[in-house]
Chains A and B, each alone.
Chain A
């Protein structure tokens, strides 16, 4: 990974976090344009990722996966952080920073299946882009889910002083549902694109790959969450809990699983 542009991106994300965490430490002009700053950071991030993919001998592995997650989270923040969404910035900016920071320090390991992949296969970027868009949707949904549970708890316990300027329960619920739906659609298409990639590239059967099975389980988890909401009307706390557990499983899949199980997606 090229370090310098990523460090620059990290600094921009840190400014976004600082503007939310300690508004008085940041000049007013910057504070008012924090969403724009995040957008510029995300664009720089995207450009660096794209530049690596196009101009260098690219072999995506764990650092690239983490970097793409970080980009996804920041993009999600850019699209929903209208007005004074301070809490959202405090939750999402550190998530993006941790993912990108980890990407910079973990040793590089390529996803093993890529050795067999034709580098020009068009399904590879589609598969990756859709999956990380899905991860971004789920990250946003779970971050908003945490906020939802927090505001709900404060209301139930009548601790009005804890709520401050946080958004209303219904708007948090709406964002967590929509971003989950977005993540689900992207994940579904991403899995499909992965299937197309495997069919085009590999000789062996890919359907029994442990990572594929695990991801299908995560997909099913979100499927249940969305069905519970769309058919039974179970929303709010239900969606938040499904979302938080689902994202935990997704993160585990991205980071932990590839090291534990021998799979086509394992690193190294």
Chain B
């Protein structure tokens, strides 16, 4: 998956106005594009909210300048020229009529945006995401003959197709937020919420937990990868398969260590006896872009570092540090995990 985040405007609706908006945005807000930015929309919902943001920012700025201007005029203009301001009419016009008119215009627009945003679409891809301290359990349920599988800390979606994410929490309240694709939705224990969106351009985006959830709330992120349909189907087919058998003695040694250290009591590796449901499913951990809930790029080095120093890297997570491995053991264990593509 060698996708780069695309930084140009939205390909499917490159009108003059979006270009002008993008230009204005680039001028005023340096760096508003990004993998985790509400100002760089990559889907219809995010775009609608983006327009709402722009219009309100513009209108708000105008009103702000107007009020400040009137205030400064009231202070500094010569008394005879500002006298007309000094009566009840000012209050009724400026404080009562003006806000009522403006808000009566804004509110219906806001409500229409709300109606059109986060709408469940028929045939949407269903994904379940469960927030846990401090990572994301992601389940793709059985669908049209394709079997269910679990992954963690990444959401792979097909470009241009609607997605409905069903969220809840296994412990405390989290909030699921992918700024480039739309708003956020809270993950509340005992309640099931849904968020629908469509990624309209391929790319890699970043989601985060937006509701404070404890020690490592700051380190609870995930990747969202929007793939073309065929690439998505290929990924899905690969994920459905059980874990790859190690084909080198070095990797077999890694698997033996995995078993001996009891990793399987918390982690699932489908196709092996590791069936712990507590931590992330590691069946295809090697295929993920990052580890530690969006914290580090995924490679043998970071995997080994993570296993040995979990509590140092992300103090407070449920997984203990496994500091007793020798360097060679760590390397083979990490290599085994990395091989689980």
A and B are partners in one complex rather than unrelated chains: no
The interface of chain B, by Cβ under 8 A from chain A, is none
